Amino acid sequence: MEARRLVTALVVAVSLTGAVSGCALVPRPVETRLPPGAPAASAPASPTATSAPSQSASPSPLTTGASPSVADGTLSCGDGQAQSISGSEQTFTVVGTCTELTVSGSALTVDATDATIGTLRLSGDRLSVTAAAVDTLAVQGNDDSVTSSAAMSSVDVSGDRATIQADGAIAAVVVRGQDNIVQSGLGVGSATVEGRGNQIR
């Protein structure tokens, strides 16, 4: 009787052990489920390095040496250039050997005592030019004056009250106007005069 109870107890114990082992928890993989419409999380973007904008060096302006100009009142003909002057009530200095010098305006004074001029053209009133030498002179205007320290090939005056003086001879003179004076230290070759009160000597 006692042995039967022991066997029964063992059978029950074995059955309980099997039942418990059958109910043991088995680990399952974890799944994350998002609600519908929710964006999936993404890894933060790694910052990308941006290079600083390159700056190209702009060429610096070329500088040139200052040369005499009308702006500062001095002109240089160099060795055989032509120059021109225009304005009013100003004084200029001209140096060098000028193939041609043109002066236009009013009340201009030109000091060309250090210049030799091939052809001098005056256009305007109250213009005054003093030169070391003038070969050919053409004057259009009133109350103009020209003085040359050398001889002249020709003088052509169209206007009134001009005064032309040359230390050397003047080969040919043409005057149209009134009260003009053309004077040569060594005489005048030929003269054509139209108008009143003109003096050629």
Q: Which long-range contacts (CB under 8 A, 24 or more apart) does 23-27 make?
A: none
Q: Is the pLDDT of residue 174 over 60?
A: yes
Q: Alpha-carbon distance 98 to 78, whole Å?
A: 7
What's the pLDDT score for residue 31?
54
Q: Is the pLDDT of residue 76 over 60?
A: yes
Phi, psi of 34 (to 5 degrees): -95, 150
What's the pLDDT score for residue 98?
98
Share of the chain above pLDDT 90, in %: 64
What's the pLDDT score for residue 56?
46
For the chain, the structural domain boundaries read 74-200
Q: Is the pLDDT of residue 58 over 90?
A: no
Q: Alpha-carbon distance 153 to 101, whole Å?
A: 16
What's the mean pLDDT in 69-79?
79
Tell me the Cα Rg of the chain.
56
Whole-number mean pLDDT of the chain? 80
What's the mean pLDDT in 131-149?
98
